[in-house]
């Protein structure tokens, strides 16, 4: 099997794994479809923006939850935004944690919120690693002279 075929097989296995584990859903495939020769870095740019944004939002949430009197509405607003961004890139697990998080905000449950914040950080890190792996695989395919498969 040549190099391109090997890398492409790895890509298929990896994307199947990511879908199966719920890291990415169909929306990510939709996002990839928006990329073309005129904007070959579109997905990478969007993903970078997402992680930059999430950094800010997570810090805002953490700060808000540290206050003596917690403004749960403010936390909720951050989570709402985070959930929206997660949905755009198909980050299903992140999105689901946000749903729980919002419920805890509404119930003004500090412990629940702190638990969710922890979870969000972990999921974010996992997703970042996964996407970096995926993009690296794609670079290998291109470097070997092949073309990146279309995500179903």
Partner 1 sequence: MSAVRMGLNGDEKPHVLAVDDSVLDRKIIERLLTNSSCKVTTAEDAHGALELLGLADGQQNFSNTVSDVNMIITDYCMPGMTGYELLKKIKESPTAKEIPVVVVSSENIQTRIEKCLEEGAEEFLLKPLRQSDVKRLRCHLTKDGNPTDEGMLCVGR
8/83 with CB nearer partner 1: 83
Tell me whether residue 53 or residue 71 sits nearer to partner 1 (CB atom): 53
Q: In angstroms, what is the minimal distance from the CB of 94 to partner 1?
A: 13
The residues binding partner 1 (CB under 8 A) are: 27, 30-31, 33-34, 39, 42, 45-46, 49-50, 53, 80-81, 83-85, 87-88
State in angstroms the smallest separation of the CB of 76 from partner 1.
12
- DSSP characters over 30-95: HHHHT--TTSTTHHHHHHHHHHHHHHHHHHHHHHHHHSSS--HHHHHHHHHHHHHHHHHTT-HHHH
Determine the angle formed by the axes of helices 26-33 and 42-66, rounding to 10 degrees.
130
Least Å distance, CB 123 to partner 1, is 17
**Residue closer to partner 1, measured from CB, 52 or 67:** 52
CB of 35 to partner 1, least distance (A): 9
Tokens representing 136? 């690296």
Q: Are 124 and 116 in contact (CB under 8 A)?
A: no
């Amino acid at each position: 099997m040549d190099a391109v075929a090997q890398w492409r097989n790895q890509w298929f296995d990896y994307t199947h794994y990511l879908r199966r584990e719920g890291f990415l859903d169909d929306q990510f495939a939709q996002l990839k479809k928006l990329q073309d020769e005129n904007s070959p870095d579109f997905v990478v740019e969007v993903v970078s923006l997402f992680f930059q944004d999430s950094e800010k939002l997570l810090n805002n949430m953490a700060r808000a939850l540290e206050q003596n009197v917690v403004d749960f509405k403010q936390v909720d607003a951050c989570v709402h935004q985070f959930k929206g961004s997660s949905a755009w890139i198909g980050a299903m697990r992140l999105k689901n944690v946000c749903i729980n998080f919002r419920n805890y905000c509404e119930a003004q449950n500090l412990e629940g919120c702190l638990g969710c914040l922890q979870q969000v950080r972990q999921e974010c890190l996992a997703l970042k690693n996964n996407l970096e792996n995926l993009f690296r695989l794609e670079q290998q395919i291109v470097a070997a002279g092949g073309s990146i498969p279309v995500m179903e």
